[in-house]
Copies of this chain bind each other. A is one copy, B any other.
Amino acid sequence: MSPRIVDKDKKRNEIALAAMRVFARKGARNTRMVDIAAEAEIGKGTIYEYFRNREEILGAAFSLVMAEMERKLGSALRELQSPEEKIKIMIRLSYETLSRFTADFLEIFVDFWSAGIRQREQNSNQTIDLKTIYETFRRQLASILKEGIEAGRFRRMDTTAVASAIMAIVDGLLLQLILDRRAFDDAVVVDQVVSMVLKGIETEIHNAGDMK
């Protein structure tokens, strides 16, 4: 808790943010350590005072986004009551947060996947455990679904599978957003998606009631 440590953390954060900015401009893969240093207005070598290596920066940048998302989701969920609203907000918020970083973010994802999937036997220094993050998210979604089922709002279903499906939608939308920003109308698509998902999981009575 000494000021030194706080400073260290702060600067580490600043560098990670700078990294994110460059990623957004040039793509994570095309970003060199020297680019990050320049963006952070520090010396190339200084980065290594705060990060062990390149991978660790990716990890930090990644965590930055995830942390922000979790923060936002947490407070949003606390304020809401109905499971429908909760599902809706989880789709919306995660999409919106992630889409702010788009391409770079997904590149980083892929970096982590490759690293995570392969290299299993190697000395996996894996800074970030994507699997765990997904797992957490999946559990959270599943529990909301369960909540809805118990409340008679959602139909019976394999909650884990449906949770996966919902997450898949968000990830997949990002892909398409990245691919062609112009051919893709965020607002409408997300609305339609939310609506489709809700219709897909709500009880028929509910659906029918929604109808008139």
Please give the residue numbers on chain A whose beta carbons come within 8 Å of chain B beta carbons, in ascending order: 3, 25-27, 29-30, 45, 103, 106-107, 109-111, 113-114, 116-118, 130-131, 134-135, 155, 157-158, 161-162, 164-165, 167-173, 175-176, 178-180, 183-185, 188-189, 191-193, 195-201, 204, 207-208, 210-211
Contact = CB atoms under 8 A, between A and B. Distances in A.
A195 B155 CA distance: 12
Contacts of A110: 106-107, 110
Nearest to A117: B103
User: So how many copies of this chain end up in the complex?
Assistant: 4
Contacts of A198: 200
Contacts of A114: 27, 29-30, 103, 107
Nearest to A132: B180
A193 B166 CA distance: 9
12 contacts: A25-B118, A27-B117, A29-B111, A107-B113, A110-B110, A134-B180, A158-B188, A161-B189, A161-B191, A162-B192, A171-B171, A199-B200
